[in-house]
């Protein structure tokens, strides 16, 4: 770096082809840098001369024919490009590294799609499903994995009190009042079908007792 | 494409979470009135065939009666007959003068069927006054619970005040620090309570209760058993005798469990309506199963009477001396008032606690 803007950037600036942000930064620079300002002015003068020269067609040129030939050449170029491009045109196929052998590419493609779907599903689950439902699923998976019944028969209402708070569960769904750092709870269970969490509200200083009922 | 997905997810969340209908329904002659309420953080989310309602509200209530209020219990419900459709929020240890306003915070999850629409209703279950009179529908037994909390509050304040007078600041501080340490060391284990049939397939045995006898208790447990299978204890049967001169209509027993590692913890309370005439015996039984974590194998059990209500509406609770029993001291939780006083000590120090004790 010599403290000046690159010449290519100055050329683009002169023709108005840089981004707004880049344009502003070059503009600030050339206001203070005489050398760059002169380069920009030269580009602008050259551009004007070219523009003036191209405004007049050379004698004997048939514009309609020239236009048809140019269009035909563009088409030929596009078709040639199609012939030499890889057969799989999808973005996913292009994303598979060239180092993977051709016969493993379908497997790699399927794995990539499966991984992407898993990430999407996990994201959607994390955004939408409450923690209690996730815990219920974990319990079900735990009991399936260990080949025995879940710890609780959740067809009936189950009330649980633990160091994490109180919870009412039924049919796989659950509701709970959970403890956090600002709310240290004392929990208790009554055999008549309720659980209570006692805590001192940090804002009001009041003891607050929240209870859930099985029936 | 990525932006479209994020927008889709955010739109889906916005479409599913919604503000439920809410209603504060106090009787016309209620001794408290709702001054204002903030429900802005309450939302309902459809989940399967039901709505899950996260109720977060702060109510500002005013004592519109002529007496000081000591406790309030509100019933918060989305659907009364559905499990998970009903909860309650209680604030004991209050001291609200007539005309004064006080806040009440509700943090409670509820559930209701999808067809019913997400609605939250707050009803007054009961208000307890300074003279222990009561107002309310009492559908959640708020009268009994709040009266016991208030009697415990008076007992504990008196205990700390007496300690301050006899042992000075140092004695009070020592007891407060000891109580804080007990709270921190109090053993706790996860306990599940299921009413009705048990599903445990482990071999079952009958285990006898041991009992802690409190000298002043009007009711004395005589014998008792429960069925034990592995980490589960169920169907307690307890024989009691009324040794007082007054009839007893309700009592609450504490159920302490000791596991095979020797750890003891308060598993549950057993409230029971009874009809015990003076000198008579009776049986308390409940079709309930308590299930502990898989590592907790039940070894033995202890029971004690934690409160009793006489037929005339007066109550008995254990004294601080009776609660100082070494077996009880380590397992029972402090009363709501003791929790409040300990919190004042934590935030404002010993002088703050002494100032608070002087208010009563």
Chain B positions touching A205 (Cβ under 8 A) are 340, 343-344, 347
How far does A67 lie from chain B, in Å, by closest CA?
38
Q: Is position A17 within any domain?
A: yes
Tell whether B234 is within 8 A of chain A (Cβ).
Answer: no
> Which 116-145 residues of chain A touch chain B by CB within 8 A?
120, 123-124, 127-128, 130, 133
More confident call, A84 vs B274: B274
Whether the per-residue pLDDT at B169 is higher than 90: the answer is: yes
Banded model confidence at residue B327, pLDDT cuts 50, 70, 90: confident
Is the domain B18-136 a CATH 2.60.40 member?
A: yes
Tell whether A8 is within 8 A of chain B (Cβ).
Answer: no
C-alpha A75/C-alpha A23 separation (Å) is 35
- Mean pLDDT calculated for residue range B294-311: 90
Give the pTM.
Answer: 0.70
Q: How far is CA B354 from CA A141, B173, B183, B357, in A?
A: 53, 10, 21, 5
Q: Alpha helices of chain A — where are they, by DSSP H?
A: 7-14, 20-32, 34-54, 63-84, 91-95, 105-128, 131-145
Long-range Cβ pairs for the range A161-165 (8 Å, 24+): A161/A187, A161/A188, A161/A189, A161/A195, A161/A197, A161/B190, A161/B191, A161/B193, A162/A187, A162/B188, A162/B189, A162/B190, A162/B191, A163/A187, A163/B188, A163/B190, A165/A197
C-alpha A60/C-alpha A67 separation (Å) is 14
Q: Is position A65 within any domain?
A: no
Pair B93, B114: CB distance under 8 Å: no
For residue B357, the tally of other CB atoms under 10 A from its CB is 17
Express each pLDDT in A52-104 by its tens digit. Answer: 777 666 666 677 777 888 888 888 887 777 666 555 455 556 666 777 777 78
* Mean pLDDT score across all residues of chain A: 76
Which residues, listed in sequence order, are joined to residue B308 by a DSSP beta bridge? Answer: B251, B316
Banded model confidence at residue B5, pLDDT cuts 50, 70, 90: low
**What class does CATH assign to B191-329?**
mainly beta
Q: Could you check whether B18-136 and B191-329 share the same CATH topology?
A: yes
- Tell me if A212 and B108 make a contact (CB, 8 A cut-off): yes
Q: Is position A81 within any domain?
A: no
Express each pLDDT in B117-135 by its tens digit. Answer: 778 889 999 999 999 999 9
- Tell me if A168 and B92 make a contact (CB, 8 A cut-off): no
How far does A57 lie from chain B, in Å, by closest CA?
46
Whether the per-residue pLDDT at A31 is higher than 80: the answer is: yes
A16 is in which domain, residue-wise?
Answer: 7-54
Short-list B78, B36, B61, CA closest to B127:
B61
Domain spans, chain B: 18-136, 152-186+338-358, 191-329
Q: What is residue B289's three-state secondary structure?
A: strand
C-alpha A125/C-alpha A134 separation (Å) is 9
Instruction: Supply the pLDDT for residue B15.
Output: 47
Question: What's the structural domain count of chain A?
Answer: 2
Query: Rounded to the nearest 10 degrees, what angle do helices B2-16 and A105-128 cross at?
Result: 30
Short-list B179, B209, B203, CA closest to B299:
B209
CA atoms in the 13 A half-sphere facing the CB of A9: 16
> Which 153-212 residues of chain B touch chain A by CB within 8 A?
183, 188-197, 199, 201
CA end-to-end span of chain B: 66
- Mean pLDDT calculated for residue range B219-223: 94
Instruction: Supply the pLDDT for residue B4.
Output: 55
Instruction: Supply the pLDDT for residue B35.
Output: 93
Instruction: Supply the pLDDT for residue A205.
Output: 81
Q: How many A-B residue pairs are in contact by the CB < 8 A criterion?
A: 171
Of A162, A192, A211, the CB nearest to B88: A211
Say which residue the tokens 């015990």 belong to: B276
Q: Is position A186 within any domain?
A: yes
How far does B215 lie from chain A, in Å, by closest CA?
25
Q: Alpha helices of B138-191 — where are they, by DSSP H?
A: 142-185
- Mean pLDDT calculated for residue range B6-30: 69
Express each pLDDT in B70-115 by its tens digit. Answer: 999 999 988 766 667 788 999 999 999 999 999 999 988 887 777 7
C-alpha B202/C-alpha B296 separation (Å) is 14
Q: Which range (A27-31, A170-174, B230-234, B289-293) has the least confidence?
A: A170-174
Instruction: Supply the pLDDT for residue A120.
Output: 86
Q: How far is CA B139 from CA B126, B135, B314, B336, B341, in A?
A: 9, 12, 19, 22, 30
C-alpha B318/C-alpha B335 separation (Å) is 12
Q: Is position A195 within any domain?
A: yes
């Amino acid at each position: 770096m010599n403290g000046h803007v690159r010449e290519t950037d100055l050329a683009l600036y002169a023709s108005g082809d840089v981004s707004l942000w880049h344009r502003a930064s070059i503009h600030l620079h050339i206001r203070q840098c005489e050398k760059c300002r002169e380069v920009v002015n030269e580009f602008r003068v050259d551009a004007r001369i070219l523009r003036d020269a191209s405004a007049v067609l050379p004698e004997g040129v048939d514009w309609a024919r020239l236009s048809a030939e140019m269009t035909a050449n563009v088409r030929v170029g596009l078709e040639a490009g199609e012939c030499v491009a890889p057969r799989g045109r999808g973005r996913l196929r292009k994303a598979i590294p060239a180092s993977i052998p051709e016969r493993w590419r379908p497997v790699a493609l399927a794995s990539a799609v499966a991984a992407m779907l898993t990430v999407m599903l996990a994201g959607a689950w994390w955004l939408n499903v409450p923690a209690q439902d996730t815990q219920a699923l974990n319990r079900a998976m735990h009991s399936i994995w260990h080949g025995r019944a879940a710890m609780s028969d959740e067809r009936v209402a189950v009330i649980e009190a633990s160091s994490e708070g109180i919870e009412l569960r039924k049919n796989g769904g659950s509701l709970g009042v959970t403890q956090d750092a600002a709310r240290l709870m004392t929990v208790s269970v009554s055999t008549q079908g309720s659980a209570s969490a006692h805590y001192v509200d940090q804002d009001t200083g009041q003891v607050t007792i929240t209870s859930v009922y099985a029936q | 494409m990525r932006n479209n997905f994020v927008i889709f997810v955010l739109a889906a969340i916005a479409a599913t979470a919604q503000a439920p209908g809410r209603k504060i329904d106090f009787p016309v002659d209620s001794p408290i009135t709702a001054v204002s309420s903030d429900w802005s953080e309450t939302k309902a989310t459809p989940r399967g065939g039901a709505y899950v309602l996260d109720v977060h509200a702060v109510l500002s209530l005013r004592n519109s009666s002529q007496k000081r209020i000591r406790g309030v219990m509100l019933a918060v419900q989305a659907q009364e007959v559905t499990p998970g459709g009903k909860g309650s929020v209680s604030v004991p240890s209050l001291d609200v003068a007539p005309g004064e306003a006080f806040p009440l915070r509700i943090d409670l999850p509820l559930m209701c069927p999808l067809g019913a629409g997400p609605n939250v209703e707050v009803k007054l279950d009961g208000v307890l006054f300074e003279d222990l009179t009561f107002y309310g529908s009492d559908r959640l037994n708020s009268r009994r619970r709040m009266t016991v909390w208030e009697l415990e509050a008076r007992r504990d304040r008196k205990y700390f005040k007496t300690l301050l007078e006899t042992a000075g600041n140092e004695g009070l501080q020592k007891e407060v620090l000891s109580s804080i340490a007990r709270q921190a060391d109090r053993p706790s284990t996860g306990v599940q309570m299921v009413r009705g049939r048990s599903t445990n397939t482990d071999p079952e045995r009958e285990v006898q209760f041991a009992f802690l006898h409190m000298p002043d208790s009007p009711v004395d447990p005589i014998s008792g058993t429960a069925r034990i299978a592995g980490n589960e204890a169920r169907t307690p049967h307890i024989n009691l005798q009324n040794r007082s001169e007054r009839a007893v209509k309700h009592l609450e027993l504490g159920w302490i469990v000791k596991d095979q590692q020797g750890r003891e913890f308060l598993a549950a309370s057993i409230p029971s309506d009874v009809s015990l005439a003076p000198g008579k015996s009776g049986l308390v039984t409940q079709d309930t199963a308590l299930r502990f974590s898989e590592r907790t194998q039940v070894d033995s059990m202890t029971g004690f009477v934690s409160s009793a209500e006489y037929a005339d509406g007066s109550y008995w609770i254990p004294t601080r001396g009776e609660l100082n029993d070494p077996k009880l001291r380590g397992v029972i939780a402090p009363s709501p008032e003791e929790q409040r006083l300990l919190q004042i000590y934590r935030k404002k120090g010993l002088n703050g606690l002494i100032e608070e004790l002087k208010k009563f």
